[in-house]
Chains A and B, each alone.
Chain A
Amino acid sequence: MSEENSSEPVTTARQAGRVIRIALATALLLNTAGVVRAGLGMPSGPTRDLLLGVARPLDGFAGLLDLNRPRSSLDAMLGHPDSVTGDQQTHLEQDADRLQPPVQRPPAPDGAPGSPVAADPEPRLAPVGAEVRRATAADPLRILVTGDSLSDFDGQQLSRLVASEHLPAKVRVQARNGTGLTQPSVFDWSDEAAQDAADFDPDVVVMVLGANDGWPLEGHDVGSNAWNQEYARRVEAVSRDFIAGDPQRRVYWVGPPVPRSAPWIHIFARINDAVRAAVPEVPGLRYVDVADPTSDHGQYTDYLTDPAGHRVLARQHDGIHFSFAGSVFPARIVLTALRGEYTLG
């Protein structure tokens, strides 16, 4: 028993409460963006409303005074630069209506002057459905798994599946947490795609993206036809940037899973629609649907059953991300899709 002893320092309940209030206020003021983001990840309800009701105005105030800088600096120091991006993005999200950050148009697929695509107009692609190549231990398939935070565990699990099945493939995971296609001023996936393609020279790019893309596009709200068309156009543009320079390269675009709560259910469904719509426009682009196979007849589920019959807690608390163990499900789906086009061993 933690018995009271005479030397134990004690204080009044009132003073303890004051310390707690100051501590919570300090933590909140120095991390408003993170709190808003945490709030956005909560299930709908009064707690979420209360948190966002407090944190959103404070985030505006903190943004004016640059109070998120200690957190951003810590993230950068600890090697979490992506979290910085995520924080900034959250801040931008809540200010989107009034600030309208400048949206940098992704390079046009028709080779507009100055765009990266202009140098290499339409890559010559292998016919769809044909075996692209046979990977061997001496010449393994080079797979780059990239995208937002959803891509991290998916990539790790794909890497483990490849290792455990001794497949002739090398998986590189390059997650860019907090990124998306709707705020290129924060993170430009077109630039990133061109750079990654040059750096890693992958045979296959597995792009897992969508968790941060719930914002208007050029003034159009999510779900509108204009939003869908613009999002599809950006998917197409980024895919072409990945493929540029290697007509054999393929992009397997993995859409987000079914999330737990609104408004993400609606947003993620629209993102998946837009990716699907982009596929016919780029011969090397494949859409990988993980939303339906990892749902319960289209509805969100925390648990999934693996082939051995074990129930796995497949999702994280936020109702968006897969858990580490649960990421094996989308990874298996991706591997199956790859096997449809590549001979692995």
Chain B
Amino acid sequence: MQFAIFFAIVLPLSWGLMPRQRLWRPFILAASYYFYAAADWHYVLLLAGSTVVNQLAATIIARRSETKTRDAALITAVTLDLGALGVFKYLDFFSASVNSSLGLSLGLLHWVLPVGVSFYTFQAISYVVDVHRGRTAPAKPLDYAIYASFFPHLVAGPIVRASEFIPQLAGPRDPDRVPAARAFGLIAGGLVKKMVVADMIGTKLVEPVFGTPQAHNGTETLMAVYGYAVQIYCDFSAYTDMAIGLALLLGFRFPDNFDRPYTARSLQDFWRRWHMTLSRWLRDYLYIPLGGNRGGSLKTYRNLMLTMLLGGLWHGAAWTFVIWGGIHGVGLAAERVWTSLAIPVRIPQPVKTAVARVVTFHVVCLAWVFFRAPDLNTAFAVLGRLFAGGPNTGIVTPTIVLLIVTALAVQWLPRGTGARLQKAFVTLPVYAQGISLGALLLVVAAVSGGQGVAPFIYFRF
């Protein structure tokens, strides 16, 4: 509700000031910082500090020709970026692990993770590295500050590269070419995915099972595992869809972040469809610098494994995330081994594809169990209950099953379905467009039961 009011004020002001870029730039920067301060004003200093450090480093890298100076600026910036992330995200995990394994009692900070720190840190690293590589010119300080804090992507992505965003700041956006139908579709679809599908499945099915696995039988546990696969997709993709939609309404374009991930035929394919902006970040700034697939099979497997393990740790400082990354790393390596063996299998291609999709989906679901569980004991308890008997507790209702099946089935709709709907939408008169969107908001509020919206899952990361 607060955000709706905020955006309803910012949108017309942004377009009103757009022709006067000297006014628009400070305005959108102030609006973004106000948005960030609403979560916790203390961490505004962290965002501002990160912006100053990385812009300073990028400027030094661009202006100086000596390799040592350029490298030193890059290393300093990346170290400070990762250092801030480490203190807030990993120090307690490290201390707790040391305490538990060595019987020590190192103090824990219990600091609350600043919202969005992982996302803007990754963007900052990509910026200084790209400037160092000569792929991006350093931005003007104000432009970089806007890129780093731009509120639609500040909290949970998508991870937009400087080279994608900063050129869009070169001049005013065209107020006569706003893809509003696409934006409305993304925002409305996001609301439905989050408030109707993700929250209902999460509250009614996933939380009870992952909270008390021993109270549920195999069927309920299996449905909760499938349910979580749907919940996390609908939750996270809803956020990024809405972020992309809001940016479009403001005149800016972000990269897509999801492309029907549960239709993937392999884990490699899955990572080309899931959190695509993180996948390419990991590829370009971790996997390739580690050596990528240059250097033979074993080194490729090692690099895949390291990338996925670190990708897991990026999500959170817990062994559950390490195992989540490990499952994907082992899976990706196993796929390469299987492909390299080229064993002839006499099965019709459609059957092979179907089997590949089913196997991929279930490996992804297996990994999600570790991702969702609060600790390893719970994860193994959930897996153990998959084969348990016992009475039903009534949490698998027809509505929940329908939501899960529908959310998975929607991924199989032909490409272009959304575009056709958008074209049909814009043929409606303006008042009909507005009333239909308002009615949808009402229905979403009613279906969600007015019980409040759970925080987006990726706000924690």
Contacts and interface: CB of A to CB of B under 8 A. Distances in A.
Interface of A: 1-4, 7-27, 30-31, 34-35, 37-39, 41-42, 47, 50-51, 70-71, 74-75, 78, 80, 83, 86, 149, 156, 160, 163-164, 310-311, 313, 316-318, 321, 323-325, 328
A20 B433 CA distance: 9
Interface of B: 1-2, 4-6, 8, 11-12, 15, 110, 164, 175-184, 203, 207-208, 211-212, 214-215, 244, 248-249, 251, 253-256, 374, 393, 419, 422-423, 425-426, 430-431, 433-435, 437-439, 441-443, 445-447, 449-455
The residue among B176, B214, B419, B450 with the most chain A CB atoms within 10 A of its own CB is: B450
Nearest to B247: A2
Contacts of A321: 451-452
A9 B434 contact: no
Q: Per DSSP, are chain B's interface residues mostly helix, strand or loop, or mixed? A: helix
A100 to B, nearest CB: 26
B164 A1 contact: yes
A interface majority secondary structure = helix
Given A13-B178, A19-B180, A20-B11, A325 B442 contact: no
Contacts of B176: 10, 12-13
A163 B1 contact: no
Contacts of B254: 1-2
B417 to A, nearest CB: 14
A26 B215 contact: no
A86 B433 CA distance: 30
Given A4-B179, A78-B447, A163-B215, A316 B452 contact: yes
B110 A311 contact: yes
B82 to A, nearest CB: 24
B212 A160 contact: yes
B422 A31 contact: no
A240 to B, nearest CB: 31
B2 A8 contact: no
Question: Sorted from nearest, which 6 A-B pairs have the closest CB atoms?
Answer: A22-B434, A26-B438, A23-B437, A16-B180, A74-B446, A27-B441
Contacts of A11: 178-181, 426
Max chain A CB contacts within 10 Å: which of B215, B244, B434, B443? Answer: B434
A2 B1 contact: no
Contacts of B253: 1-4
A10 B248 CA distance: 11
A78 B446 contact: yes
A86 B445 CA distance: 14
B1 A70 contact: no
Given A74-B443, A325-B211, A26 B435 contact: yes
Contact of B2 (A13, A42, A70): A42
Given A22-B430, A51-B5, A149-B451, A12 B445 contact: no
A325 B374 CA distance: 11
B251 to A, nearest CB: 7
Given A17-B11, A22-B434, A317-B455, 17 more contacts: A4-B253, A10-B180, A11-B426, A13-B249, A19-B430, A20-B434, A22-B431, A22-B437, A23-B434, A24-B438, A24-B441, A71-B446, A156-B208, A313-B455, A316-B452, A317-B453, A323-B454
B268 to A, nearest CB: 21
Contact of A35 (B1, B179, B251, B426): B1
Given A13-B178, A18-B430, A80-B446, A2 B435 contact: no
A15 B422 CA distance: 15
A67 to B, nearest CB: 11
Given A156-B208, A164-B214, A31 B178 contact: no
Contacts of B419: 7-8
B449 A160 contact: no
A2 B15 contact: no
22 contacts: A1-B164, A4-B253, A7-B419, A10-B177, A10-B178, A11-B180, A11-B181, A11-B426, A12-B176, A14-B175, A16-B183, A19-B430, A19-B437, A22-B431, A27-B438, A31-B442, A38-B1, A47-B2, A74-B446, A149-B451, A163-B215, A164-B215
Contacts of B431: 22
B235 to A, nearest CB: 15
Nearest to A321: B452
A17 B454 CA distance: 28
